[in-house]
Amino acid sequence: MQYIQDNIWMILVALGSGLMLLWSFFGNRLRGIKEVDCAGALQLINHKNALVLDVREDNEYGNGHLLNAKQIPLGKLIDRVGELERYREQPILVVCRSGQRSATACAILGKRGFLQSYNLNGGVMAWQKSNLPLTR
């Protein structure tokens, strides 16, 4: 008991770090966000005619993006979600640089009834690391 009293701040920091680590692994699942890796993304694109939605900013998109990707920056997604209405019944693969912004975009889409939105886990960085092509 004395040890706990003497090291309470260290224990609280360790617990907080552990909780943050758990959230990074399970947070998207708890939020109802479906994630796919690069192989799963290719399956969605090639076999299920998924729309690729890139939520990065203009300069990031201009430096290279997935083929036929539609770009709507995350900050403008709520205002421009109507542009996606015709894709409501088909899968939407949402991408960003690392998978964080695209997870937020998937949550936004899910709240608006787009039930087949998928987050590319690791984003464009994972895509490039898998030696998959980008276009300009």
Query: What's the mean pLDDT in 16-28?
Result: 67
Residue 87 has pLDDT above 90, yes or no: yes
What residues does 118 pair with on adjacent strands?
A: 34, 93
Q: What is the signed CA dihedral for 110, 112, 127, 54, rounded to 10 degrees?
A: -170
pTM of the model: 0.81
Report the Cα–Cα distance between both ends of the chain, in Å, rounded.
62
What's the Cα-to-Cα distance from 16 to each of 9, 13, 19, 22, 28, rounded to whole Å? 10, 5, 5, 10, 18
* Token pair belonging to 134: 């980008």
Q: Would you place residue 4 in the very low, low, confident or very high pLDDT band (cuts 50, 70, 90)?
A: confident
pLDDT of residue 84: 97
Q: Would you place residue 50 in the very low, low, confident or very high pLDDT band (cuts 50, 70, 90)?
A: very high
pLDDT of residue 28: 61
**Separation CA 133–CA 127 (nearest Å):** 8
Q: Would you place residue 25 in the very low, low, confident or very high pLDDT band (cuts 50, 70, 90)?
A: low
